[in-house]
Structures are given as C-alpha cells and as structure tokens.
Amino acid sequence: MNTTKKGRSAVPCPPRVPWATCLLAVALLASGDRPAIADADAPKPDVKRDAEVDRAVSRATDYLFAQQLPSGAWRSDQYGEMTSMTSLALMACLAAGIVPGEGPHAANIDRAVRWVLDHQRDDGMLIDHVSHGPMYCHGISTLMLAEVAGMTPRDQNEPVRKALEQAIKVILAAQDRPKPQHQAGGWRYQPNSGDSDLSVTGWQLLALRAARNIGCDVPAENIDRAVAYVKRCSVRGNHGFGYQPGDGATAVRSGTGILALEICGEHHAPESLGAAEFILHNPLRYEENFFFYGAYYCGLGMFQIGGASWETSRDSLYAQLLTRQEANGSWQAANGGELGVGRNYSTSMAVLSLTVEYQYLPIYQR
C-alpha cells in the first residue's frame, strides 16, 4: 500500500493515518530509501489548501462513522441499506487513510466488509435488493472488495478473496452476453443486458482492473474489449466522451472515459487528452445534476492526466467542495437525482474526490 501523499507536503502525517504508517515513512527516510525528488519546475504545494482538505476529510469521515448502522451498513435516503452505499462509504474511509486492522475504526471497517459479504447472492451478485441497475451496485462493491483485498495480508482475507472471485465471474459473464458490435465489450444495468453504457462500464472496468492488480484471474482480453468500448464512446475528433457510442459529450462522462483508459494503461491516449480539454472548457458546477458523481470521475481522471490539466481542474473542484461542506462534516447535493440519495452518498463521493492526491487506494495510484 502506498503510504505517502505524492506531490503534497507529507509531514506531519494527517491525523487519520495509522501510527504504523507514519513509522514506516520515518523508517524509509532513515534507511535512505527516499521518494524521488520532485521536478524543480513543479508547482510548490499549497500548504493552506492541503490543510483545509485534511480537515474537511477528517470531519467527513467522523460524519460517516456516526451514520454507520450497528450492522456495519450505510444507508441511502432513497433506497435504505445498500451494498453500493456501504461500499462507497467504506472506500471513502480507506481513501482517507483508515485501513483494515489498524486504529480506532478497525471494527467499523470489519463490520462494513462483513455486511457486504453477507449480502452476496448465490449467483455471485453483490446486491441486497432488486433495482433497475443491479450492475451499478455490483461493480462498486466488487471494486471495494478488490481494494480491501489489496490492503490486507493475503492470509487474513480469504473470505474477501473468495467473494471477489465470484463477483468477477459475474462481471466477465455479463460482458460476454451477445451484443451489437458497437455495444460489445461494455456493460449496462442488468447482467443479461444486450447493450452497454459508459457509466456502468466504468465501474465494472475499475473493478476488473483492481482485481487483476492483486492477482485475480482477469484475462487481458476482457480488459482490451472493455477499453475498445470506452474508446467507441469518444466523440468524433476526441472531443470528450458520451454515454453511449454516438452520444454527445458531457463532463461527467468525459471524466469516466479518462479514468477508465488511464487505469488500464492507456496513458494520455488521444481520446483522454481531448476529454481533458473538454472538461477544462466545461467544468463541473455544484448546482448541476450528478455533480458528486462527476467530481469523483473528473477528479480522479484529471489527476491521472496530471500536469496543468489536473492543477486547473483541481482548483475549481476543491474550491466548490471545501466551501459547500456543512457544519456536521457532510455534503448535500443541490438538486437532481443525487439529492434524493442523501448525505452519505454525497459525502462519500466528496471524500473520494478530495483524497485523490493521498493515493491510498491502490487502483488510483499513478
């Protein structure tokens, strides 16, 4: 697991980082195994903003733990207890540096993971209720299990690995469903859907890539087919990504396309660079629908692009998030579908967006 905040001032360690992590960092420095020196032309860290981010993340995780149910689950306002909501909240805590088996919240993390495992169906699906989009829930929860499995010793997470392997089989089988050529390689709402969209595909691809990174059996051919679908969602001339092939670009979908390609090794693909330009010219606004969904994908995607593109988009995104956090540490969507899902969702997505530079979650490391 990565234990330093790359590109940021890492001393002192943020208050949420387990003490063992700080000791490891000190030991590495003492041994001479130092991180590479940053480029002399790189911008200096914004110490004030970084401190604001750390405080915001700390308040937000306090809020999330206060909202966790005794069962270990987190609920959404609209749907109640959900595997996907629990997985997003759990990943937000992991992204903040609260790791399995360490610190005062070790039991909270363990209960959340166990709750998700207990809601895996016999067919491998990680969902706790029937909805119009079960593959959303499944992809998010599969990604979470892959991240947890990658952050704990292998001999201590056999139940997680077993559930993850079953969940991966569901994703691969859904990808293999017969589809028209322009829809092939992706996923949509149902395991047996005959078409695909970039939104659902993004979660499945993140889950597959994270699982493959820790040694799960995910054939490269499946990743390649998914990448090909993502590229078909690029607007002609590399002007961003649309929901499905042939659709117009949006900032939210452009962030999804960038992140999907970057984590699969397609670094600075023409489609991604064009999408980054689209996002810079069409930045997210807090008042729009799916702001938090977009903050997650655009934040993480633009971080992978790096350089001036990341710095410009980060400044806009962080300013909006930091000024909209409420007194209790939560965030609430301004309007649209996210408003009904509730604060646990918005707060989790905000934390995942703000912690991108921490690089604690393995899948998002550069």
* Predicted local distance difference test score (pLDDT) of residue 355: 97
Angle between helices 47-67 and 83-95 in degrees, nearest 10 = 140
Helix (H) or strand (E) holding 76: strand 75-76
Strand partners for 81? 75
Q: Which pLDDT does position 20 carry in this prediction?
A: 34
Residue 348 clears pLDDT 90, i.e. is over it: yes
Q: Taking 50 as the threshold, does the pLDDT of residue 6 lie above it? A: no
For residues 352-356, give the mean pLDDT.
97
Full set of structural domains in the chain with CATH: 19-364 (1.50.10.20)
Q: Are 145 and 166 in contact (CB under 8 A)?
A: no
Residue 295 to residue 282: CA distance in whole angstroms: 13
- C-alpha 87/C-alpha 335 separation (Å) is 23
**Angle subtended by helix axes 220-232 and 251-263, to nearest 10:** 150
DSSP string, 94-115: HHTT--TT-STTHHHHHHHHHH
Peptide bond into 35 cis (omega under 30): no
Task: Render pLDDT for 182-224 as a digit per residue (tens, 0 to 9).
Answer: 999 999 999 999 999 999 999 999 999 999 999 999 999 999 9
Which residues on adjacent β-strands are paired with residue 57? none
pLDDT in tens, 228-255: 999 999 999 999 999 999 999 999 999 9
CB 124 within 8 A of CB 77: no
